[in-house]
Structure 1
Amino acid sequence: MLVAFSLTPMGVEAGVAEYIADAVKIIRESGLPNRSDSMYTMIEGEWDEVMDVIKRATEAVSAKSPRVQLSIKADIWPDMPNPLDGKIGLLEQRIADVTSGSTSPTA
């Protein structure tokens, strides 16, 4: 399972780094594969372990912010090994096939 989520502290000043730093620490220390960018964090794992990390990260933001907005998007693809990198690998292979003139119906 691959989950992309974002935590947005509400009712605080524009800069939110101090409000989400503890959440990011929880995510990184979870041991689950993860990647963050400027808008979302992606985390890979089994349903219960991913949701537990998201819950704890949300609680960390809630401890510092009067309100938290949580957005979650999940890709449940049981046969995809390592979806955090595997999905990108499929895309990169497709781009390489298109660029080289080869077409592969597997990706």
Structure 2
Amino acid sequence: MLLAFSIAPSSPDDSGSYAEAVAAALRIVRDSGLPHDLGSMFTTVEGEWDEVMAVVKQCVDAMEPYGDRVGLVMKADIRAGRTGQMSAKVERVQGLLDDPATS
């Protein structure tokens, strides 16, 4: 599965930033060893259902010191038997864009 998620504590730190809290969660994603991609609005993780959801739960737990509530938004693409889709999906679209016959 591919799971894109955005996570943040209920309020920013004194400087108005969520960066420290988000970095705490992203350390968990990075340390999980799962393929992942950090974007400006979402982080995408690829793996089996149970391992991906375990990482998301750990990220939520990592937010607890930064506020009394955590906001979490998720979107999943679940396809049995598929791996490497984080890059494959992008490559398929890019191939169409690069093909003069489809432009």
Q: Which runs of 5+ in 2 are unaligned?
A: none
RMSD: 1.6
TM-score (norm 1): 0.86
TM-score (norm 2): 0.89
**Cα distance, 1:102 vs. partner?**
4.9
Distance of 1:92 and 1:2 partners within structure 2: 19
Runs of 4+ in 1 over 3 A off after TM superposition: none
In the alignment, what sits opposite 2:56? 54
**Cα distance, 1:79 vs. partner?**
4.5
Alignment of structure 1 residues 1-107 onto 2, 5 Å: 1-13=1-13, 14-97=16-99, 100-102=100-102
> Quick one: structure 1 residues 71 and 102, their matched pair in 2 at CA, closer, same or farther if it must change by over 3 Å?
closer
Deviation digits for residues 5-46 of structure 1, max 9, x if unmatched? Answer: 000211334201111221110000000000111110000000
Identity of aligned residues (%): 39
**Cα distance, 1:64 vs. partner?**
2.1
Q: Which runs of 5+ in 1 are unaligned?
A: none
The structure with the largest alpha-carbon Rg is: 1
**Cα distance, 1:78 vs. partner?**
2.4
Is the 8 Å Cα contact of residues 44 and 50 (structure 1) preserved in structure 2?
A: yes
**Cα distance, 1:77 vs. partner?**
1.9
Number of residue equivalences: 101
Distance of 2:79 and 2:94 partners within structure 1: 19
Distance of 1:20 and 1:90 partners within structure 2: 30
> Quick one: structure 1 residues 102 and 18, their matched pair in 2 at CA, closer, same or farther if it must change by over 3 Å?
closer
